């Protein structure tokens, strides 16, 4: 499979978190992700594919972007939090985990704008 020209990206901010979140994707549990709006769309285009990397930067999964929406942190829904697949999949846990993540990676505000992407696993690489 030729992955040339596709965006390559890892989940999270550490090798350990990248591997943990990737495992959720590979298990079919994690079908959504988000990031700061100010970081741009990171190559995500609805209907196009990107490559999820493992914690050491190896291609591990081919992902298709299904939806990509700009959403305020405090407007993220319980359904989206559940689709992210993390912790107990509740909105309360999602908010706590993601507030901590954004705080340690550049700053957090409850009204910050995010890119919220829903995706599907196309192939395990």
> Which stretches of 40-86 are DSSP H helices?
78-84
Distances (CA, A) of 23 to 26, 40, 109: 5, 25, 29
Please report whether residue 97 resides in a domain.
Answer: yes
> Which stretches of the chain are DSSP H helices?
15-26, 78-84, 91-104
Please report whether residue 1 resides in a domain.
Answer: no
Between CA 64 and CA 47 the distance in angstroms is 6
Q: Is the pLDDT at 115 greater than 90, yes or no? A: yes
Please report whether residue 83 resides in a domain.
Answer: yes
Q: Is the pLDDT at 42 greater than 90, yes or no? A: no
Residue 91's domain is classified under what CATH number? 3.10.400.10
- pLDDT band for position 23 (cuts 50, 70, 90): very high
- pLDDT band for position 41 (cuts 50, 70, 90): confident
Q: Is the pLDDT at 71 greater than 90, yes or no? A: yes
């Amino acid at each position: 499979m030729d992955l040339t020209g596709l965006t390559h990206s890892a989940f999270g901010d550490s090798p350990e978190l990248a591997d943990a979140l990737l495992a959720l994707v590979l298990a079919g549990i994690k079908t959504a992700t988000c990031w700061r709006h100010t970081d741009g769309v990171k190559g995500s285009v609805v209907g196009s594919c990107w490559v999820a990397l493992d914690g050491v930067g190896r291609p591990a999964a081919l992902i298709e972007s299904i939806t990509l929406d700009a959403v305020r942190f405090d407007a993220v829904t319980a359904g989206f939090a559940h689709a992210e697949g993390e912790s107990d999949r509740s909105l309360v846990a999602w908010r706590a985990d993601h507030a901590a993540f954004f705080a340690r990676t550049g700053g957090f505000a409850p009204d910050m704008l995010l890119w919220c992407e829903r995706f599907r696993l196309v192939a395990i690489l």
